[in-house]
Amino acid sequence: MSLDKQDLFDGINEGVRWLWRTNQIKPILAKYGINNPDYLQPMTTDPRIGVDRDSKGALIGPFAHDPRDFSHAFA
């Protein structure tokens, strides 16, 4: 994703959070043969910490910015 498309980046991230929050991810994964319930369990440590997120989950690195709230699009 292009660094200058921060709104698109924020919208996609909100959509992914919505998929997990509403459990809509489960039928999508099943459609592609991923039926193991372990894929639906959160990891004990977030592998993104130190890569593109800080310890509080805020963006770091090239994509660091104050994210816009697109949750209204996924109500």
pLDDT tens column, 14-64: 999 999 999 999 999 999 999 999 999 988 999 999 999 999 999 999 999
Residue 74 belongs to some domain of the structure: no
What's the token pair of residue 27?
């039928």
Domain of residue 57, residue span: 6-65
Give domain status of residue 75, yes or no: no
Calpha distance 22→57 (Å, rounded): 20
Look at the chain and report how many structural domains it folds into: 1
User: Considering just the CA atoms, what is the radius of gyration of the chain in Å?
Assistant: 14
Amino acid at 21: R
pTM confidence score: 0.83
1 domain residue, yes or no: no
23: nearest Cα among 43, 42, 44: 42
Q: Which two tokens stand for residue 24?
A: 């809509």
**β strands within the chain, DSSP E:** none
Task: Tell me the per-residue pLDDT of 50-69, one tens digit each, with 9 for 90 and over.
Answer: 999 999 999 999 999 999 99
Task: Read off the tokens for 44.
Answer: 């004990």
